């Protein structure tokens, strides 16, 4: 994975705010055109780079940015991720975002994202397919 460098700015116009090392600041009420915290902007920029059919984990993005961790990235995605391909930023175990499984799976099927189908027993219990992280993970080198 490339280290550190800035990526192209988001197409949505957001300003920047001072960032707090290792933490995502408490977000202000964000309206159209309001500033977005710098760390959040950087997380969303990486999410926009992930090609269709590929994924990065929350931890992958934190590592790419060399700042924060999976929880901080998850918080950013929960607060601001609706404007980017959020379904491409996933948990390390490949389980689709709780409450958004149907929508995420529709995107995964449409994009050809590698999935691991549940066993017959777990399917009977209502489990959904998981992302095959080994095959779907994007390292930032191809695209």
Q: Compute the distance between CA of residue 66 and CA of residue 96 in angstroms, rounded to an integer.
A: 25
> Tell me: the pLDDT tens digits for 109-128?
999 999 998 766 555 556 67
> In terms of C-beta density within 10 A (0-12 exposed, 13-18 middle, 19 or more buried), how is residue 50 classed?
buried
> Tell me: the pLDDT tens digits for 49-94?
999 999 999 999 999 999 999 999 999 999 999 999 999 999 999 9
> Residue 2: CB partners within 8 Å, gap ≥ 6?
64, 140
Q: What CATH number is given to the structural domain containing 27?
A: 1.10.10.10
Parent domain of 80: 1-143
pTM of the complete model:
0.72
DSSP state for residue 28 in the 8-state scheme: P
Q: How many domains does the chain have?
A: 1
């Amino acid at each position: 994975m490339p280290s550190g460098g800035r990526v192209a700015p988001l197409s949505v116009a957001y300003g920047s705010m001072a960032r707090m090392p290792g933490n995502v600041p408490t977000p202000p009420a964000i309206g159209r055109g309001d500033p977005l915290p710098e760390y959040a902007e950087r997380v969303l920029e990486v999410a926009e780079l992930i090609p269709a059919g590929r994924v990065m984990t929350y931890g992958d993005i934190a590592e790419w940015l060399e700042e924060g961790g999976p929880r901080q990235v998850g918080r950013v995605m929960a607060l601001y991720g609706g404007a980017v391909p959020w379904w491409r930023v996933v948990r390390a175990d490949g389980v689709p975002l709780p409450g958004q499984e149907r929508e995420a799976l529709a995107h995964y099927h449409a994009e050809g994202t590698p999935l691991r189908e549940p066993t017959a027993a777990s399917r009977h219990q209502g489990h959904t397919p998981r992302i095959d992280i080994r095959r779907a993970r994007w390292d930032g080198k191809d695209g």
